[in-house]
């Protein structure tokens, strides 16, 4: 199965923020949307970075409550790993595990198609495995 199936199931909506917003603003967006990361976008320039719960926790540990007044641009991860809708679920799981991040924007031809999380990927893998088991069960019992 491919990343395109995940985007088809979950939709292409992406929550984003601009680099000039504060970490307090980002925290509010994360909480309101019950998500773990936000893409940092700036007009027509596309993806500028990503800010995650982990980034915010590190900033709070380093700067205390003052971190909330810092800009997203000052704390975001600038080099954002991306995936393609044609990447397989196995490839994306490997990338997320080895690189130790939980969110990937899905980009095709420079166009942002959506964002997937490790939870989305695991759910797709479980769904694929369940379908495979049911197909094999049907085949073995003569019902497929």
Residue-range domains of the chain with CATH:
3-141 (3.10.580.10)
The pTM score is: 0.82
In the block, residue with structure tokens 């991040």: 101
> What are 2-33's pLDDT values in tens digits?
999 999 988 888 999 999 999 999 999 999 99
A 10 A CB-CB count for 31 gives: 10
| Two structure tokens written together for 78 | 């600038």
Of 6-10, 47-51, 71-75, 138-142, the one with minimum mean pLDDT is 138-142
> What are 108-128's pLDDT values in tens digits?
998 999 999 998 988 877 877
Average pLDDT of the chain is 91
């Amino acid at each position: 199965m491919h990343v395109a199936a995940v985007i088809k199931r979950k939709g292409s909506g992406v929550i984003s923020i601009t680099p000039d917003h504060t970490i307090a603003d980002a925290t509010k967006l994360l909480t309101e949307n019950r998500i773990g990361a936000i893409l940092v976008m700036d007009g027509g320039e596309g993806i500028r970075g990503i800010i995650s719960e982990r980034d915010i926790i590190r900033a709070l540990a380093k700067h205390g409550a003052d971190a909330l007044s810092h800009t997203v641009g000052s704390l975001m991860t600038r080099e954002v790993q991306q995936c393609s809708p044609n990447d397989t679920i196995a490839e994306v799981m490997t990338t997320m595990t080895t690189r130790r991040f939980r969110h990937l924007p899905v980009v095709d031809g420079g166009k942002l198609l959506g964002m997937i999380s490790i939870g989305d990927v695991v759910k797709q893998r479980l769904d694929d495995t369940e379908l495979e088991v049911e197909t094999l069960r049907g085949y073995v019992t003569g019902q497929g």
